[in-house]
Structures are given as structure tokens and as C-alpha cells.
Chains A and B, each alone.
Chain A
Amino acid sequence: MKLTLRVWRQQGPEDKGSMVEYKIDGISADASFLEMLDVLNEKLIADGADPIAFDHDCREGICGMCSLVINGTPHGPERATTTCQLHMRKFKDGEVIDVEPWRAKAFPVVKDLVVDRSAFDRIIQSGGYISAATGTAPEAHSTPVPKPDADAAFEAAECIGCGACVAACPNGSAALFLGAKVTHLGLMPQGQPERWDRVVGMLDTHDDEGFGGCTNTGECTIACPKGIPLDVIGRLNHDYLRATVGGKKK
């Protein structure tokens, strides 16, 4: 395949950055999008140019490290697929492809296509856990969990923390990421004692980090490589209102 890439290049956080065009030929349709970038980088290095920096690690769609807004869509055109599992057979020969980093104030660009997503870690730090010190756990079968609850919790817990929801949201909101964790832990009986403090703590951090507010556009769930449903945002709102207006938060 022959392709024209327009890639966001930015030396460092302070640099202004711009789109730079590259032409590349001889790409296999079976290559993944990142493997295509590998090939381009090998070529750039051979030419003595600076290769394109991009985040990636597991390349099997689970670590959440790869990002890339491809032709205006986070993780590219294929639904429920991370960039690392997007294959070139989904593109046309001769296509012009725009590649940009996630864009959000809370995800500042580090270099080229690499952004800093530590804001997500700080959101989890402010309540996205169940306090269970090692060694204090009761026997696993002492608390049965209804299968539908366990399944729904699992679906929410599938979130890989990639940030595509933020990248896609016209408001730059991380409500889907937030809702996924609140839903996962809020559906498990073990998560009940901290349920109300958790949602308030996490949402406050979310706002402090500079993410935007949710207006229910639904772009996030479509961009989400794991297909986390909008229901989790409904639950987030529900729990937040009960915690604050409903006075549940201690």
C-alpha cells in the first residue's frame, strides 16, 4: 500500500508543533497501524531524521498505552479497536491519513504524539479503589455476588484507561472513565462502604484536573475501544447526586 501521512510533530511541551507530511510505500495490508509507523520510523532513522515518538506497549489492545487520533477519530475508524489492533486493511491504497495526539488540557503533549495521562492516575488516587489491606480479607465465598452484578461490574472494569473518551468528547470530559470505575466498584458489595465518598472525591479531582463537563453527547462510548456503555455515566450522576444532594456522603 501507498500512503500519505500527515503527522503532528512537536519537539517538546513548549514547542508549538505542526503537521508534517510523509509519503510511504510498500506497506502490507496485514500490518497494524503501529507497525506501519515502525516502518516509517526505520526509514526516518536511515535518513538521519528524528523518528516519530508515539506511545505503545502491549500491542494487543489491553494496556491502554497507545493513543493517536487518526483522521479525527481516536484509535481510528474501526469501532471497539485500539490503534495497536487497527490493521492497514481498513484503509484504502493511496489514502491521506492525519495522525494527531489526544487533545486535552489535562493531557499535555510531551513530544509528537506522546501525551501525559497521569491525571487519570490522580483520579484513581482520589477514591478509585476499595480499601482492603493485605491479609485482612475474609474467605472469598463469604459474600456471594449476584452474577448479573458481577458481569456488569466486569464490563465497566474492562476500561483500559487509554483516554480515548476524553479525546473524542467535544467537551474534553472524562466522565466515561470516571463512570466506569464508579460503576465497577459501586456494583460490588465490597465497594459499598466507600461508595459515596468515592464518587465525590473522584469527580472533584476530575474537575480540578481541567477536564470538561459531560453533556451526554455519547461520543465517548463510540470512541471507547472496550465499548464501555453510557450507562456508567448515568450511574456516576446517580451516585453523585445521592452522595451530595441526597446527603449520603459522610
Chain B
Amino acid sequence: MSESFYEPGEPLRDAKAPAGPIEDRWTTRKFEAKLVNPANKRKKKIIIIGTGLAGGSAGATLGEAGYQVQQFCFQDSPRRAHSIAAQGGINAAKNYRNDGDSVHRLFYDTVKGGDFRARESNVHRLAEISTQIIDQCVAQGVPFAREYGGLLDNRSFGGTQVSRTFYARGQTGQQLLLGAYQALMRQVDAGNVELFARHEMLDLIMEDGRARGVVVRDLINGEIKHYTADAVVLASGGYGNVYFLSTNAMGSNVTASWRAHRHGAYFANPCYTQIHPTCIPVSGDHQSKLTLMSESLRNDGRVWVPEKAGDTRRPSDIPEGERDYYLERIYPSYGNLVPRDIASRAAKNVCDEGRGVGPGGLGVYLDFADAIERLGRKSVEAKYGNLFEMYERITGENPYDTPMRIYPAVHYTMGGLWVDYDLSSNIPGLFVIGEANFSDHGANRLGASALMQGLADGYFVLPNTVGDYIARTSLPPVGDAAVQEAAERVTGQIDKLLSIDGDRTVDSFHRELGHIMWEYCGMERTDEGLRKALELIPALRAEFWTRVKVTGKGEELNQQLEKAGRVADFLELGELMVIDALHRSESAGGHFRAESQDEDGEAKRDDDNFAYVAAWEWGGTGERPVLHQEALEFEYVKPTQRSYK
């Protein structure tokens, strides 16, 4: 069985969440945390990798608190981090709509939406903090959508029945990120944060089992530099680009997390990937990325395909009676608003039946004709105008006249480095926040919850918990040996990549890996397929290290070299994802195993055997990883089979 792919390890436990009623845990934890006195904060250094919602908000807050912060991003400015592309909104349990929302309901929805694979304590804290986030962002001048009375507007979002999503047209991520970015820039100006743009973290400096710094490459001139600190925070985002085609930015990568993993940081639940149902379908081989259309479109758009397979008529020629509004048919109570994993798989199923539309039959219609008739074109334009324009720019089709074509695409990764309640990895001194950690979304993330988690971690959670670590730990200066060792590892890898001088481009490997991952570890996974992937990936990796061609030198701006390092890590991560997917023979959220479904084809969990977090310990390249299980206990939300019917 799958045991042959991994070694069983010791069980794992989160020792940081206090006991007691769930509503009091965060308060208790904050009170128990040791404080760093303000004069001492000035002497303590914290390194943050990444400047997205989590990293940006953490840098701004820790800088304001008085720590010396050094912050790194590979983009040319912190404002480019991919959080900027989040469209739909941010959830908060404000209950401004008086529709029965509460902290407890947000907690409940998130645990249930995550298919009972998240830690209750973490999720409850997230729900509690959600309301403070909105207050904070409004104070920073984030121009949220408002009603005529001047108060904040809300909308509902996939997977929930209350209106708790705050938004700024289709650019909520942009506005929230600019708020965090501006707060961060203020700290840079004040001298509390030192900013290193166009710097990529390539290794972690470890001493006495603790994370003590990073080795980075200056992407402008290729210089390898090192920085040491009292704590290192990874806010480096998710790893969806392992699929080559995803809605992630071209530069999004797993390198920071992966290099920490190679030092012993556990990687948790890597197989939980969110496939977003509403993306623009692939148009050809040249395709370099996929573009998301906000989920909010499902509020007013109706999803359908022709009733008969192989129907190639134009959508306007297909009469109402010959259309299958399959989400409304299968899930009458949630209709088009079912959670993302369910909507994605339903789209795959109808396409598998040959009823898909557009080139290659990989697409379904998202139709606004009814909404335009009901609300008027003006009002639809006000709500979704920019999304419609974007769709038209990319496809050359006008969605006011003809239904959009959409298809699922990899969008978000729920897995990530394992962290405890304090957001500390199992390596002391290494904290992981935002999408880079695994903590809050279980096996599936609800819409508008990523922004909430990133900002909760950065503004409110980490600043409390990192202080506790620093206050309790007395650290000597980092020795030269530790720094030297890390720097040599980095230069060694760069030299190796440059010396291979093979005959295949980096992108060709990335594309092939992506194809394997999408085919065998995508929307539907099978034992057979995963085993196949487990043969293909190591072979591809071996080929990469003998045939890859990286042009140019190390001592210059070299985008091929940057990519090569990232793809090398994806080639290792991909294998771990497949192992995780293979070992988890249940279906849960974003992980659907064909062998584990009920009679209606819905995902079937196996709580008896899999109600745990799979935290993987690095075993070496091509070696078997070690599985540590963190058992999940549900005291407040009793696991049920999710039903959105």
C-alpha cells in the first residue's frame, strides 16, 4: 500500500492553543504571552519574506511596534505581491445586515466549508479577528464599497447564506494590499523597516536548531547576501504554480517554504488545492497563466451547458428547454452559490459527459441574460463592469451579448508549512503566515476568506506571538559557520544550474510538470493515476538536472536562473503532493479521490481514518518523507457530510 511511499513518524500536537472555552482561547493566549519591553524591541531583528497581505501587514505592525524589520520581496515593489489580484472581497462577522451572522457562524461556516480538516481553535480566532480587520482597513482609508447612507456595503459569496463580504468593486485585494503597503511604506520612511525589493530568499540560516536568518540573491546584480535576525517570518504565498497554469502570478513560487522544509519544517496537507470554478478557459499552447473571473459573478450569473452532448449550436440558438442549469438542478438550496470545490467538479463532470462548450469542450456557460433583464444592464455594469471588460479584452467576446465561457483552474493552496496556534513552524524562530501556512482553511477555503486570513495573521496574530518567542528566547549572535554553510549551499546550486547547459528550457520542464500534476493530481485523483505520477515526476526531475539549459551568468539580472531555481523546488514539491494525495484515500474538500464518493458522486470523507493533519518531514530528494499526524478534534462543530442540496 501507500506506506511504501512514506515513513510513519511520531504524532504531532499543537501545544500552544490554551484549553478552555473556545471563545476565550485567544484572549488567554495573548495574556499568557510574555511581552518584550519597548526598549528591547529596538534591539530585536525580525526578517519577513514577502510583502503581500500577510507580510505587508506584519511588517507594518512589527515596525510600528518598534522592532527592527528587514523585509524582502522578489518583485520590484512590495505593492506587486499577488494579493493585489484578489477580486471578490473579505469576510467579516460584523452582522451589519442583521441576517443572523455572528463570530460563531463565521467560525462554523469556515470549519464546515473546510470539510472538517481545520483546527477549531485557529478558525475561531480568525472569525473573532475578522471584525477588527475591517475597522483597521477603514481607518487606513481603504475605499470599500458603500451604500447611499455612507455605510459599508456587503454582498454574499459562494458557500454562505449570509451577506458578510466587504468589497471594493472587483479589486478588493488591490485596495487591501495598498492599505498594507502604504502602512509599510510609512514604517520604511520612519526607519523601522528596511526594504529589499528584487531580492529572493534562497536559503534559511540555521543555528542550534533555530531559524536565525536568510540567504538572499539580489536579483539585479546576482549578489548572494545574508541577513541574520532573532526570528524569520515566511509570508511567501502559495504554491499553485506547481501546475504551471494557475491563477497565480508568474513569479509565485514555493522556494522560500521549500527551502525551509528541507531544513526540517513540516509541510502540511500539500494535496489540498483549490480549483476555482470561474476562470477563463485555456485558448492555446502559448497560454502562460489563467485568469480568474471573480466568484461574485455567480451571485447573478447562471451556470449552464447544453442538455445534449456534442451540441455545437451558438448559445443564443439553444432554447431554454434544452439547457441544463446543472448547479441549480443538483443543488436546489445553494444553486449557483455552492462552494468552489463542488462547483468545479460539477463543471468537470458535465465536460466529461461531452457537454462542455468552446474550444476542446472544456468550458461551461456563465450567463447574465436573466440578471440583465431583472436588474437592468446599468446595474449589472455597476456591479461587474470591470470584470466584463477584462473578459472581453482577453477573449474578444462581449459578455453582455453572449454568455461567458468559464472553466475551473488552480487558484489557491490550502496546504503549506505546518504551524501551531502561534503560527510558529516546528523550527523554533520560523513563523509562517498567510497562504504559506496551512492553518485555517482545512481542505477547502471559502470565498473571501484568504484576504481575511492574510490580514488576521499579519496585523493581529503574529505580532502577539512572535513577541512571546523573542521574550522567552535569549539568542547569541549567529556564528560565521552557519552563515557560510547556507551561502555555500546557495552558490553551489546556482553554479550547478548554470553548468548543466543542456538542451531543454526551464519552461518546458515546468509545463510538463504542470501537465502531470493537472492530469493526475488535479480535480479528481485516483490511486492508479497518482502512482503513475509518482513514476513520472522523479524521472522528470532527473531529466531536469541533466538537460536543463539556463543561459547567462549568475552575476546579473537573470530571469532564467530565477525560474530554474523555482522549478527545481516545484519538482520536489510535486512529488510530495502526490504522496500526500495517494496516502489520503478519502475525499475531502479540494482533494477528491474517485475511490471515495457517495452514490451521488459527492465527496465522501473518512473521519475514522483521516481526521488529522498530515505534516510531512523532509526525507531527502527522492527519499521517503516522514508522516506526522496531528489529530483533529471537533468540540464545537460536529463533522457531518457536507450537503449543499
Q: Do chains A and B touch in the complex (CB under 8 A)?
A: yes
* Beta-carbon contact of B61 and A134 below 8 Å: yes
* Beta-carbon contact of B249 and A63 below 8 Å: yes
* Beta-carbon contact of B136 and A137 below 8 Å: yes
A115-127 vs B: 1/0 string, CB under 8 Å? 0111011001110
Closest B residue, CB atoms, query A61: B390
- The number of chain A residues with a CB under 8 A from chain B is 80
Smallest CB separation, A108 vs chain B (Å):
11
Q: Is the interface of A mostly helix, strand, loop or mixed?
A: loop
Report if A5 contacts B (CB, 8 A): no
The residues of A that contact B82 with a CB separation of less than 8 Å are: 57-58, 63
**In the complex, which of the residues A28, A64, A114, A161 contacts B557, with contact meaning CB atoms closer than 8 Å?**
A114
Report if B303 contacts A (CB, 8 A): no
B521-563 vs A: 1/0 string, CB under 8 Å? 0000000000000000000000000000101100011011000
Chain A 124-150 residues near chain B, CB threshold 8 A: 124-126, 128-141, 143-147, 150
A61 CA to B78 CA, complexed, in Å: 16
- The number of chain B residues with a CB under 8 A from chain A is 81
* Beta-carbon contact of A125 and B185 below 8 Å: yes
Chain A 27-43 residues near chain B, CB threshold 8 A: 27-28, 30-32, 34-36, 38-39, 42
Q: Which of A47-55, A164-172, A211-219, A237-245 contacts B (4 or more CB under 8 A)?
A: A47-55
The residues of A that contact B557 with a CB separation of less than 8 Å are: 12, 53, 110-111, 114
* Beta-carbon contact of A65 and B76 below 8 Å: yes
Report if A87 contacts B (CB, 8 A): yes
A76 CA to B220 CA, complexed, in Å: 26
* Beta-carbon contact of B150 and A147 below 8 Å: yes
* Beta-carbon contact of B94 and A51 below 8 Å: no
A87 CA to B286 CA, complexed, in Å: 12
A117 CA to B78 CA, complexed, in Å: 11
The residues of B that contact A89 with a CB separation of less than 8 Å are: 396
Report if B168 contacts A (CB, 8 A): yes
Smallest CB separation, B549 vs chain A (Å):
6
Smallest CB separation, B142 vs chain A (Å):
8
* Beta-carbon contact of A118 and B135 below 8 Å: no
Report if B375 contacts A (CB, 8 A): no
* Beta-carbon contact of B286 and A132 below 8 Å: no
Smallest CB separation, B423 vs chain A (Å):
16
Report if A154 contacts B (CB, 8 A): yes
Q: A45-B560, A63-B75, A150-B144 are in contact. Are A58 and B136 (CB under 8 A)?
A: no
The residues of A that contact B143 with a CB separation of less than 8 Å are: 150-151, 153-154, 157, 184, 188
User: Which residues of A does B touch, CB under 8 Å?
Assistant: 11-12, 27-28, 30-32, 34-36, 38-39, 42, 45-46, 48-51, 53, 55-65, 78, 80-81, 85, 87, 89, 110-111, 114, 116-118, 120-121, 124-126, 128-141, 143-147, 150-151, 153-154, 157-158, 160-161, 184-185, 188, 190-191
Listed by A's residue number, 29 A-B pairs whose Cβ atoms lie within 8 Å are A32-B288, A35-B288, A38-B288, A42-B505, A42-B507, A42-B508, A45-B560, A55-B76, A57-B80, A57-B250, A58-B84, A59-B250, A60-B247, A60-B291, A61-B393, A63-B81, A65-B75, A87-B393, A110-B557, A116-B76, A116-B220, A128-B185, A134-B183, A134-B463, A143-B138, A145-B150, A147-B150, A154-B143, A184-B141
Further 16 A-B residue pairs, CB within 8 A, beyond A49-B551, A63-B82, A121-B195? A11-B556, A39-B286, A45-B560, A55-B76, A59-B289, A60-B85, A61-B390, A130-B140, A134-B183, A137-B136, A144-B151, A150-B143, A150-B150, A158-B171, A161-B77, A161-B79
Closest 5 CB pairs of A and B: A144-B150, A129-B182, A137-B139, A132-B139, A154-B143
